Amino acid sequence: MDKILLLLLIPGFGRSRVKQFIYDNPLLLEDDDYFNYMISKSLDLPISIYRDSVDRLKDKCKKLGVEIRVCKKKSIIDTPLILYLKGDSHLLDSRKLLGVVGTRTPRVKSQIIGEELVAYSVKQGWVTVSGLAKGCDTLAHRVTVKNEGATIAVLPMGYRKSLAPWILDKGLFVSEYPPGEDVRKYKCVNRNRIITGLSKGLYVIESGKGGGSEHSIKYAKKGGIPISYSFGFNGIEEYGAVKVTQKDEFDLFLSENYRDDINPYRVYY
């Protein structure tokens, strides 16, 4: 894990380049001498400085109670190299994870139906996975907590102590970014692939064409994740989404479309 953290600190080494570097050099993570030799050409500072930075990051995470985990989730498209976890990490092992997304400005009708269906899924034992954005995401998290369910909040930034502490009672924060790292627009898009990749099904409360939720819908379609929606845009059914506004419709979606073998994606290591 330390080697991956160090690679991510090297200027110009983003997630994709690090993955390719590992793929091209199978012994990289196994042999210390080989690792030092291969990265020496890319370092602008002595390797000891990078190792110190890794140690400081690990110390910071330890103080915050944040677990650093190498991600080997096959279901996440463009799998993150590292996940930072704060809370009940065992929730990731649940077989009933439901992604819930939607617009930041839902209509009242959407909120009413969304609250009813999310509450129903919680009572059926589903864990809610969402992105803690304003609107539908926050509604999903709050309804889950209100109904004594468990929820996972996938962040487009690093964990902060000030973030929705009420989630931690029975929940989990997940991020591919280290604690304290700021939010950026592209990170919000990246977050959506993790929401869908962790989930066995996706429920869209309300989404407009071109909204952030459409990224989640596209990732779900690509990954073979069943999609349902209450209020969508023209063309949403082309992604295979089924409309649900009643509990019996939602129950049918949850029971018939749930599969335990979705997403045959692989990681490089």
Query: In this structure, are 11 and 94 located in the same domain?
Result: no
pLDDT at 260: 53
pLDDT at 221: 94
Query: In this structure, are 59 and 151 located in the same domain?
Result: no
In angstroms, rounded to a whole number, what is the distance separating the alpha carbons of residues 120 and 95? 17
Query: In this structure, are 206 and 123 located in the same domain?
Result: yes
Query: In this structure, are 167 and 251 located in the same domain?
Result: yes
Choose one of 32, 49, 64: the last residue of a domain.
64
Cα torsion through 244, 246, 249, 251, rounded to 10: 110
Question: Is 46 exposed, middle or buried (CB count within 10 Å of its CB: 0-12, 13-18, 19+)?
Answer: exposed
The pLDDT tens digits for 174-219 are 999 999 999 999 999 999 999 999 999 999 999 988 878 999 999 9
Query: In this structure, are 11 and 108 located in the same domain?
Result: no
DSSP H or E stretch at residue 112:
helix 108-123
Residue that has been written with the tokens 């330890």 in this structure: 62
For residue 262, being part of any structural domain is answered with no
Query: In this structure, are 115 and 219 located in the same domain?
Result: yes
Q: Which CATH number is 108's domain given?
A: 3.40.50.450
Domains: count for the chain:
2
| Contact present, 178 and 84 (Cβ < 8 Å) | yes
pLDDT at 73: 78
In angstroms, rounded to a whole number, what is the distance separating the alpha carbons of residues 128 and 137? 10
Q: How many secondary structure helices (H) and strands (E) does the chain include?
A: 9, 9
**Average predicted confidence (pLDDT) for the chain:** 91
**Confidence band of 259 (pLDDT split at 50, 70, 90):** low
3-state secondary structure of 158: coil
- DSSP character for 174? E
Residue numbers of the domain that contains 110:
87-256
The pLDDT tens digits for 165-185 are 999 989 999 999 999 999 999
The pLDDT tens digits for 88-130 are 999 999 989 999 999 999 999 999 999 999 999 999 999 999 9
